Amino acid sequence: MKKSYLQWFFVLGTGLFLGACSDDKTIDPPIITDPVATAPSRYVVASAPVGSSGIADYLLTTSDLSQGTISTVGKGIEQDGSYRYYLTHKGKFFSLLYGQGNPGAVTTYTLSETGELVKSSDFQSETVQVFAPAGDDILTIKVPRSGNESASWFRINADQSKIVGEGQINIVRLAGNGERAHFTWATQVGDKIFAPYMSIKGAAPDVFGTAYPDSSWIAVFSYPEMQLEKVIKDNRTSFIGSYFNNGLLVDENGDTYAFSPAVATSSGKQSGTKPSAFVRIKKGTTEFDQSYYFNVQEKSGGKKVIGQTYLGKGKSLLYMLTDPADQYGPTRLAISDIYNQTFTWVTGTPESIASRSASYNNNTVSADGKTIFVGINTDAGSWVYAIDIATATARQGLKVEGGAITAIVKVK
């Protein structure tokens, strides 16, 4: 598993007309440049040090992912713990500690005028498996896999960096089939939260197994109240997304696309009969669009999609399982047009990637929309790969020394 800018406030006085000079010249007020508008974007690269305990990552910043070298040696901001997850919202960079059952820190950073991360707050919250921007908040959800029948949700206000709302969801009642709903992610869609979930047994010896491998569900909540409004159901795919893998994307038209990795299990073995595929929910509706079905498994020659990063204009970077029977195994990259249902393998990257940057950070597309950056770790080292979206070709860019890349996040 793996896995802000500083706000300037200005008070500008009213310009004074200076007309008392004997030569009647008017003195123009000085031009003041807004640093928020001119400050360049920065990328935060999280790198896990090799052979270190108690340190999740070092955070490094750079303005260019396409070339050069950066290193964790003597540099970067240390992140404690075993695992950290990162996202940006409302100009701030958030680092969330996965405490493995213990409380987890939520650390907030802003960018200095020189483009460096500056810690602005640090507080304790529950360890969570779901985290996503929503409104002015970061919405997080703690999802118990057994025992407690309620998932806890928290609204962390991005401006105040504190919890401003919380509540619980009975996940056994939500599943309604004798199992429990285990949320895979949450995404804001209009004024609602779409939260897809797996149906799991939640009891040993088959905690993540299910008797319902060929169905998918998305819980729809009002926001910010988080009141359950309905559950969207479909039997053309298995569950949407997977553990720590966001299965939803919302395009520029407001339509929601959802993928199923088709990895439901029973007693540790895949048990579903439906293929890995994309389905759609049209803007303003809360039903699956029965006219749309993109069978990715068929287009890829039998492979399954386990993660995706939306690139814009209907294009998505897909992370495909090299072994469809192993959902935790290596992946291979592909570019897909989800509108036209096309599929193209990416060339120039390893065909079997055991370790890479997280797919849920979807803001690493270049400003011109032509390139997507992905961190890939190999035995020879760690590089950021620049992938040309139009041609599905990649080349090595920035090299990261001293650790394995776990996440790349663009901070504006």
pLDDT of residue 40: 59
pLDDT of residue 129: 87
Res. 271: pLDDT tops 80: yes
pLDDT of residue 372: 96
Q: CB of 357 within 8 A of CB of 3?
A: no
Domain definitions of the chain by residue range: 128-293
Distance CA 346, CA 111 (A): 33
Distance CA 25, CA 20 (A): 9
Res. 350: pLDDT tops 90: yes
At 100, is the pLDDT very low, low, confident or very high (cuts 50, 70, 90)?
low
Q: CB of 219 within 8 A of CB of 226?
A: no
Distance CA 376, CA 250 (A): 26
9 contact partners, CB below 8 Å, separation of at least 6: none
Angle in degrees, CA 226, 228, 231, rounded to 5: 135
Q: How far is C-alpha 197 from the geometric centre of its chain's CA atoms?
A: 16
pLDDT of residue 194: 98
Q: What is the mean pLDDT of the chain?
A: 89
Distance CA 241, CA 258 (A): 8
307 - beta bridge partners?
A: 319
The residue assigned the tokens 């790349």 is 408
pLDDT of residue 36: 37
pLDDT of residue 123: 87
359 contact partners, CB below 8 Å, separation of at least 6: 245, 246, 307, 308, 309, 317, 319
At 135, is the pLDDT very low, low, confident or very high (cuts 50, 70, 90)?
very high
267 contact partners, CB below 8 Å, separation of at least 6: 205, 206, 209
Q: Provide the percentage of residues in the chain whose pLDDT is more than 70.
A: 89
**What's the predicted TM-score (pTM) here?**
0.88
Res. 384: pLDDT tops 70: yes
Kindly report the length of the chain: 412
At 8, is the pLDDT very low, low, confident or very high (cuts 50, 70, 90)?
very low
- CATH for 128-293 is 2.130.10.10
Q: Position 218: which residue type?
A: I
Q: Position 394: which residue type?
A: A
pLDDT digits (tens, 9 = 90+) for 229-268: 999 999 999 999 998 889 999 999 999 999 999 999 999 9
Q: CB of 72 within 8 A of CB of 60?
A: yes
Distance CA 394, CA 343 (A): 16
pLDDT (mean) for 78-89: 91
pLDDT of residue 54: 81
